[in-house]
Amino acid sequence: MSIDPRVASGLRDVPPSVMIPRERMLATFRETFASFGFVPIETPHIERMEVLTGKGAGSDEVLRQIFEVTNKGGEAGKLALRFDLTVPFARFVAKHVNELGTPFKRYAIGSVFRGERPAKGRFREFTQCDFDTVGTESAVADAETAQVIYASLTAAKIPAFTIAINNRKVLNGLLETIGVADQTARVLRVLDKLAKIGRDRVALELQYAEVSENLLDQFAAAQRIEVTNPQLAQELADSVERLGGLNESPFQTFMSREQADRLLDFVTSGRGGIDVLVPVETALRESESAMKGIENLRAIFDLLISAGVPESALKIDLSLARGLDYYTGVVFETTVNGWEQYGSISSGGRYDNLASLFTDRRLPGVGASIGLDRLLALMEEAGLLKGQSTTVPVLVANFPGVAPTVAFGLAARLRKAGIGAEVFPDPIQIGKQMGYGSTRGHKVAVIVGPDEAEKELFNLRDLATRQERKALPWAELERTVAEALGAGS
């Protein structure tokens, strides 16, 4: 009896057809990050539990999804797999900041682990590509963050995309003005769902307590209705009450419908070019916070334009909240035009104090993360990935009856000339070797039969058209193959 070769639930193997574009994309990101002076670091996949769960407060979500790690002789509950790259980076900076100095610009690419319920397209291990600048409050670092997103996605040949930019301080000023400044965290969480669930639903959730959010989902799903207006919501509330068992009413009112509408009118009108800030500046002129936020947004736009980032790739979006309430300044989200439903493929923002859990030293910073897996899924669905499963364009046949040193030597020459080449290992029937090449996606095959070997000649077959050029001299191998590939690609 064999052991079943399946992977554990929620995990996956990545086959060559996905890995080849993935590696190419990662190489592009690494090069781009590095060209801005971001340096690579690596932290272990395993961290001490205490580091990941903070002071044990407010980390229920994290604790529920965390993978604990133990080994023989080790105590249970002490180690776990990282669930993001931010917490390990905070620990790293706290530990090493004195030797590294600031500003410190790092990138990190690696697997993170979350025990989420397995679902289509969602995995328990996935890759994050993070870059951050710590130790500065400069708008230069803010702008550079957006610039790196732009440069990385452009270099990776992602089709037209838009980087939406907001500043948390503008939102804060707005909430002050409306009179709900004490609800900031809650409002940010709800507002973050605007693109996903629509204005009506967000207005509803802004009015009512957070506890109702999940319940609304559950009841709406159970009753197959959509919560698009207050009346339906009330019906749901009644259902909840009939079932009982809740500590507080899920429909406690947190702000009036009027306040919610004012907030939503404001943020949805603040979408577009830098000019949308003009009326905002007037409306929020009493708020010092909002004025600082607006100044920062203007500085970022100026810097990005000076670096040649096209305005068409940028937009102000005052409704942009980002769920995480540790952002304190600029925030970014990036969507591929026409694929907004995929959500953001690169997000980030500025935080006041990265490593407060680990050090008393205040370390402000700004950074972003590129969602590699989501990006690849999008590109695959958009038909932008070639279904290629070879890394080389040339297959060198291993002709029956010809010394394998011939194919081996010719392939080595091609590689030396910078042309990737694979030698078929076994001298089987040539048709089968060509079939291998066609299936994998090799472009051409170099074939040397016994006659050719004797005369130092080769045949060159185009694996797509099956056309073959015969009796070409070995002396011109590199040039001939390079030309054929140049013409064929």
Residues 135 to 194 in contact with its own copies, rule: CB under 8 A: 136-141, 143-144, 147, 151
- The yes or no reply on residue 20 touching its own copies (CB under 8 A) is yes
> In the set 45, 292, 315, 374, which binds its own copies (CB under 8 A)?
45
Q: Which residues of 5-23 are buried (b: 16+ CB within 10 A; e: fewer)?
A: eeeeebeeeeeebbebbbe
Stretch that binds its own copies, among 49-57, 229-237, 323-331, 444-452 (CB under 8 A): 49-57
| Tokens 């529920």, located at residue | 64
Binding-residue total with its own copies (CB under 8 A): 119
> In the set 124, 169, 186, 461, which binds its own copies (CB under 8 A)?
124
Dump strand ranges (E) for 86-214: 104-113, 125-134, 161-167
> In the set 23, 238, 241, 468, which binds its own copies (CB under 8 A)?
23
For residue 201, how many other CB atoms are within 10 A of its CB? 21
Question: What are the C-alpha distances in Å from 7 to residues 3, 11, 13, 125?
Answer: 11, 6, 8, 12
| Tokens 């899924």, located at residue | 377
CB half-sphere exposure, 202, CA atoms < 13 A: 25
Minimum CB distance to its own copies, residue 145 (Å): 11
Q: Are 447 and 457 in contact (CB under 8 A)?
A: no
Q: Which is nearer to its own copies, 256 or 391 (CB)?
A: 391
Minimum CB distance to its own copies, residue 208 (Å): 29
Burial class (CB in 10 A: 0-12, 13-18, 19+), 230: middle
Stretch that binds its own copies, among 3-11, 263-271, 331-339, 459-467 (CB under 8 A): 3-11
Question: What are the C-alpha distances in Å from 339 to residues 180, 272, 374?
Answer: 34, 18, 11
CB half-sphere exposure, 75, CA atoms < 13 A: 4
Minimum CB distance to its own copies, residue 363 (Å): 12
> In the set 360, 383, 401, 466, which binds its own copies (CB under 8 A)?
360
- The yes or no reply on residue 133 touching its own copies (CB under 8 A) is yes
> In the set 55, 224, 242, 466, which binds its own copies (CB under 8 A)?
55
> In the set 231, 247, 306, 489, which binds its own copies (CB under 8 A)?
306
Minimum CB distance to its own copies, residue 257 (Å): 38
Q: Which is nearer to its own copies, 12 or 386 (CB)?
A: 12
| CA nearest to 131, candidates 143, 111, 148 | 148
Q: Which is nearer to its own copies, 179 or 450 (CB)?
A: 450
> Which 371-390 residues touch its own copies, going by CB under 8 A?
389-390
Gap between the Cα atoms of 375 and 291, Å rounded = 35
> In the set 28, 84, 103, 374, which binds its own copies (CB under 8 A)?
103
Stretch that binds its own copies, among 28-36, 285-293, 325-333, 463-471 (CB under 8 A): 28-36
* Six-digit token string for 61: 């979500």
> In the set 25, 203, 297, 303, which binds its own copies (CB under 8 A)?
303
Decide the pairing of beta strands 365-370 and 346-351.
Answer: antiparallel
- The yes or no reply on residue 313 touching its own copies (CB under 8 A) is no
> In the set 63, 464, 471, 475, which binds its own copies (CB under 8 A)?
63
- The yes or no reply on residue 488 touching its own copies (CB under 8 A) is no
Q: Are 229 and 200 in contact (CB under 8 A)?
A: yes
- The yes or no reply on residue 51 touching its own copies (CB under 8 A) is yes
> Which 272-301 residues touch its own copies, going by CB under 8 A?
299
> In the set 70, 218, 234, 429, which binds its own copies (CB under 8 A)?
70
Minimum CB distance to its own copies, residue 105 (Å): 7
The values of phi and psi at residue 329, to 5°, are: -135, -125
> In the set 105, 186, 322, 350, which binds its own copies (CB under 8 A)?
105
* Bridge partner residues of 112 (DSSP): 126
> Which 208-237 residues touch its own copies, going by CB under 8 A?
none
Stretch that binds its own copies, among 101-109, 238-246, 261-269, 313-321 (CB under 8 A): 101-109
> In the set 130, 132, 205, 422, which binds its own copies (CB under 8 A)?
422
Minimum CB distance to its own copies, residue 107 (Å): 9
DSSP 265-280: HHHHHSEESGGGHHHH
The values of phi and psi at residue 182, to 5°, are: -75, -10
Q: Which is nearer to its own copies, 14 or 278 (CB)?
A: 14
Q: Are 453 and 396 in contact (CB under 8 A)?
A: no
Gap between the Cα atoms of 417 and 147, Å rounded = 36
Gap between the Cα atoms of 224 and 427, Å rounded = 63
| CA nearest to 467, candidates 459, 478, 455 | 459
> Which 71-100 residues touch its own copies, going by CB under 8 A?
71-74, 78-79, 81, 91-92, 94-96, 99-100
> In the set 308, 383, 401, 431, which binds its own copies (CB under 8 A)?
308
- The yes or no reply on residue 61 touching its own copies (CB under 8 A) is no
- In sequence order, the 6+-apart residues with CB closer than 8 A to the CB of 60 are none
Stretch that binds its own copies, among 41-49, 235-243, 267-275, 455-463 (CB under 8 A): 41-49
Gap between the Cα atoms of 370 and 347, Å rounded = 7
| Tokens 């990265």, located at residue | 354
Minimum CB distance to its own copies, residue 249 (Å): 29
Burial class (CB in 10 A: 0-12, 13-18, 19+), 76: exposed
